Amino acid sequence: MGKVLEEPLLHDASLTSHVFEEGDVAAKITKVKKGSLSDSVSPSPSPLLVVSPIIPGKYPVLLFFHGFILKPSWYKSLLQHISSHRYIVVAPQFSSLISQSKEVKKAAKVTEWLSNGLNSVLPEKVEPDLFKIAVSGHSRGGKTAFSLALGYGNLSSSTPTTPLKFQALLGIDPVAGSSPSSQSAPKILQYIPRSFDQSVPVAVIGAGLSNQRAYYIFPPFAPNGVNHSEFFNECKPPCYYFLAKDYGHTDILDDKIAAIASLISKSGKGSKDLMRKAVGGIVVAFLEAKLGGQVDFLNDIVKAPSLAPITLDPVIPMSNN
Amino acid sequence: MGKVLEEPLLHDASLTSHVFEEGDVAAKITKVKKGSLSDSVSPSPSPLLVVSPIIPGKYPVLLFFHGFILKPSWYKSLLQHISSHRYIVVAPQFSSLISQSKEVKKAAKVTEWLSNGLNSVLPEKVEPDLFKIAVSGHSRGGKTAFSLALGYGNLSSSTPTTPLKFQALLGIDPVAGSSPSSQSAPKILQYIPRSFDQSVPVAVIGAGLSNQRAYYIFPPFAPNGVNHSEFFNECKPPCYYFLAKDYGHTDILDDKIAAIASLISKSGKGSKDLMRKAVGGIVVAFLEAKLGGQVDFLNDIVKAPSLAPITLDPVIPMSNN
């Protein structure tokens, strides 16, 4: 298997280990209803969960799209972990009744809304830094994140006054359908290496058990050919791949929900808390590198995957050269 | 799409263009029957087509495994092209009735046989250089080549007196089954990037139309999720990917057979001769680089894919770093 040879680190690894723990800022969770704001500001196009640092400051923004039939509030632990490292996370709730093409358009509308609506739902003196925006998602939401970054959400009818540009893209166990021959629209996978016409750096985090059946009965949630592996294959460098070898597709959800999900979704035997910390840490390290200019954490994890609290194997960095 | 930026070449490109034309040595085709040799030498474990330069010399050897229900003799133009550049090509005929696991074992036996049988079927004063051996295959034969290189053909019962080591591996539109969930044994695809535990350099040549239906009816011969793209994804560097964008799965066969095959296999509109020349040229350039130490031809094609007589897009080099 693709084990990365662990190289000596150039600096204190404990600095990197801290991305796998809660950060130093308390995070506040705000539920925003659809269109619930007054006329003076732009109403939200979707219900949202906004997770934000509570101390005054200007913070980068991470959009996070949930998986099929899941809710943003079921990812609270993970999103708080990320936010506590000084990020504002905006997680819209999409209806499971709409097509994925419509979900991508909704996601684009939420992105537009960041410019003129987000400020009004944040704690006092907390501001979004709209020049530092990343987009991410889990499962079907991972594909929505890729689709949006690839331009499938273009809103022809209205041009945003301040077009926002993503600086980073993360797919957490992304899924594009039930098999290569039955991809849901938009069909973003081409089955050609590096076919994504993306310019933004990408991290793909896969779950090693997500292509397996639960109890030999339930079909895998991230089947071979439409999962993390093919998403990574179609990314242009710079891109990164991390496989949480011993965990399943829904093991990043909050504990109670993860326990219920594990009845139908193959789940890892290890602590789900460690899985969430590992994924949260990778997200933070990647955002620090691509939005904050601090590359050491990401480089350290690539060089020494054992810094993570779970087995990451393989870890693959692919650079532009 | 993943177009490679064409960089200026450091030397005369006409030297590289010549790999896409017949080489300077006439090639002789010999049919070898199974077990047809006298007792003094080792009988061939399978019927074989041996294509060899006719002028005296010591030449590297390329094993070539045909596709499902196809015959080595249907690839004559391609194999002669390669051989005319001073290679001995050994192409066994496998029965379409045996399982692929058995085919891999047969392939291993043919590899063993090279040491003590090949010499006896070559033209006078023509010798195989058994320190320079590459393995290749088309379609199901491409998977057989990968399986053999990955050690699936290990013959536990008999240890060869001179264990041969492959220096290069080539998959020409390799196919691993009909879908990710119905891979034939040995199941070599893991759906994890770089999961192949191969140390040998690899070239994967895909056909851009091989994942399409012919006349909207016949299923694709190299379906998404089990074709060239996933084979490349699972290779460790150093590896190379070339997509013959406008050609189909059986367009490398000799003209008459390719015409018949095109009734059920999606075929390109362009000249099949150009497709064979392109594939032959890539094979020769790769063998020159990995067996002969002459890297310019391969590097030139990577830098300037337009040197090839057909559209190669994308061309992806992946090096060790």
Looking at residue A63, its pLDDT comes to 98
Which chain A residues are within 8 Å of B5, Cβ to Cβ? none
Q: List A48's β-bridge partners, or say none.
A: A32, A92
pLDDT over 50 (residue A118): yes
Strand order in the sheet with A57-65: A27-32, A48-53, A88-92, A57-65, A126-138, A166-172, A202-207, A239-244, A312-318
Q: Pick the catalytic residue from B173, B251, B254, B300.
A: B173
- Residue B196 pLDDT class (50, 70, 90 cuts): very high
- Mean confidence (pLDDT) of chain B: 92
pLDDT digits (tens, 9 = 90+) for A157-202: 555 444 679 999 999 999 999 999 999 899 999 999 999 998 899 9
Minimal CA separation from A196 to chain B, in Å: 7
| Rounded average pLDDT over B197-226 | 93
Looking at residue A36, its pLDDT comes to 66
The rounded distance, in Å, linking the Cα atoms of B60 and B97 is: 31
The answer, for A320 touching chain B at a CB cutoff of 8 Å, is no
Are the C-beta atoms of residues A107 and A92 closer than 8 Å to each other?
A: yes
- Residue B162 pLDDT class (50, 70, 90 cuts): very low
Interface predicted TM-score (ipTM) of this complex, two decimals: 0.90
The answer, for B245 touching chain A at a CB cutoff of 8 Å, is no
Residue (of B108, B126, B10, B125) closest to B61 by Cα position: B126
The verdict on a CB contact (< 8 Å) between B189 and A316 is no
Considering only residues B224 and A155, tell me which one the structure prediction assigns the higher pLDDT: B224
**Using CB atoms, which residue from A179, A192, A243 is nearest to B179?**
A179
Selected residue of A175, A192, A239 to mutate for chain B interface (largest B Cβ count, 10 A): A192
pLDDT digits (tens, 9 = 90+) for B76-129: 999 999 999 999 999 999 998 999 999 999 999 999 999 989 999 999 999 999
The answer, for B243 touching chain A at a CB cutoff of 8 Å, is yes
The answer, for B191 touching chain A at a CB cutoff of 8 Å, is yes
Return the structure tokens found at B180: 């990710």
Please indicate whether residue A73 is annotated as part of the active site.
no
- Residue B199 pLDDT class (50, 70, 90 cuts): confident
| Rounded average pLDDT over A58-84 | 97
Residue (of A138, A204, A193, A192) closest to A168 by Cα position: A204
Looking at residue A5, its pLDDT comes to 54
The answer, for A294 touching chain B at a CB cutoff of 8 Å, is no
Looking at residue A35, its pLDDT comes to 82
User: What is the model's pTM?
Assistant: 0.93
**Using CB atoms, which residue from B2, B191, B206 is nearest to A229?**
B191
H or E, element range at B123:
none
Looking at residue A164, its pLDDT comes to 79
Return the structure tokens found at B88: 């001995």
The verdict on a CB contact (< 8 Å) between B191 and A227 is yes
Interface subset of A 197-216, CB within 8 angstroms of B: 197, 206, 208, 211
Please indicate whether residue A85 is annotated as part of the active site.
no
